[in-house]
């Protein structure tokens, strides 16, 4: 638990070095690549939602800035996995 909190504090501090549009771009890319990590790391979405909300609360970004992106080689199953990640992310934020 302490390790998780330390990582979150470090990640939140690192966001201060990014412009809001840079953060959103990097965050969207991370979510779009997250379909495999969520099954391996159950707290992954929780961590990402806390990081996102940290920046969101400052009023610098909006949820609408996140964009779902499917790689050309993704099949229907891959697309469903990415949408599942976004759904879980938004639910965790709420």
Separation of alpha carbons 85 and 27, rounded Å: 13
Going from N- to C-terminal start, the domains of the chain cover 2-93
Q: CA distances (Å), 34 to each of 9, 30, 81, 93, in order?
A: 21, 6, 9, 16
**The pLDDT value given to residue 1:** 57
Q: Taking the CB of residue 31, how many other CB atoms lie within 10 A of it?
A: 21
pTM of the predicted model, to two decimals? Answer: 0.83
Q: How far is CA 69 from the centre of its chain?
A: 13
52-82 residue pLDDT tens:
999 999 998 999 999 899 989 999 999 998 9
Say whether pLDDT at 6 is over 90.
no
Report which of residues 38 and 27 the model is more confident about.
Answer: 27
∠ CA 36-50-55, rounded to 5°? 115
Kindly state the tokens that stand for 58: 């400052």
């Amino acid at each position: 638990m302490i390790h998780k909190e330390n990582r979150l504090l470090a990640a939140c501090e690192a966001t201060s070095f990014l412009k809001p549009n840079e953060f959103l771009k990097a965050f969207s890319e991370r979510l779009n690549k997250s379909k495999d990590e969520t099954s391996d790391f159950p707290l992954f979405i929780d961590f990402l939602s806390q990081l996102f909300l940290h920046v969101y609360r400052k009023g610098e970004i909006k949820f609408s800035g996140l964009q779902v992106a499917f790689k050309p080689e993704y099949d229907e199953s891959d697309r469903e996995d990415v949408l599942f990640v976004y759904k879980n992310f938004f639910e965790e934020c709420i």
